[in-house]
Amino acid sequence: MGRAGKPISAIEKRQRRAMEEERKKRREREKRAETTVREPMVAYSIVNKIRSEIRNLSIVTPFTIAQRYSLSMSAAKAVLRILYERGDLELYDHSRRLSIYIPKSK
């Protein structure tokens, strides 16, 4: 007639593997959720805070602002652009990807 079914031990192994894979996926989801959330928009209070603290730096890049204040790179670039337009920063050098600023000396 037909072939006999799989033994119970094989079914148990398959269930254990499925449970382990599910646990791994759950752990990965939890790890993803632990990443830091960065602010997409910038409040003027943060801009003013950055403005006062920038004077102590020799050069300013979007990366340094993003790291210090937990901002996204686009928000950091926007802050630097605002400060440049206000006259607080001088554009030292720029390329397609990166702009380097220096604080204006008084």
Q: Which two structure tokens, joined as six digits, stand for 1?
A: 């007639």
The answer to whether position 6 is within a domain reads no
Q: Which amino acid is at 21?
A: E
* Residue bearing the bigger pLDDT, 46 or 101: 101
The answer to whether position 1 is within a domain reads no
First-to-last C-alpha distance (Å) of the chain? 96
Domain of 53, in residue numbers? 44-103
Question: Looking at residue 33, what is its pLDDT?
Answer: 66
What is the tens place of the pLDDT at every residue in 44-99? Answer: 888 899 999 998 899 999 999 999 988 889 999 999 999 999 999 999 999 999 99
The answer to whether position 9 is within a domain reads no
Question: Looking at residue 45, what is its pLDDT?
Answer: 87
**Domain count across the chain:** 1
What is the tens place of the pLDDT at every residue in 10-55? Answer: 888 999 999 999 999 988 887 776 666 665 677 888 889 999 999 8
Residues 58/105, Cβ–Cβ less than 8 Å: no
The answer to whether position 58 is within a domain reads yes
Q: Which amino acid is at 65?
A: I
Whole-prediction pTM value?
0.60
The answer to whether position 2 is within a domain reads no
Domain containing 60 — which CATH number?
1.10.10.10
The answer to whether position 20 is within a domain reads no
Question: Looking at residue 77, what is its pLDDT?
Answer: 92
Q: Which two structure tokens, joined as six digits, stand for 50?
A: 């950055």
Q: Which two structure tokens, joined as six digits, stand for 65?
A: 């602002």
The answer to whether position 97 is within a domain reads yes
Task: Looking at the chain, list the stretches that DSSP marks H as alpha helix, in order from N- to C-terminal side.
Answer: 8-33, 44-54, 62-69, 73-86
Residues 81/44, Cβ–Cβ less than 8 Å: no
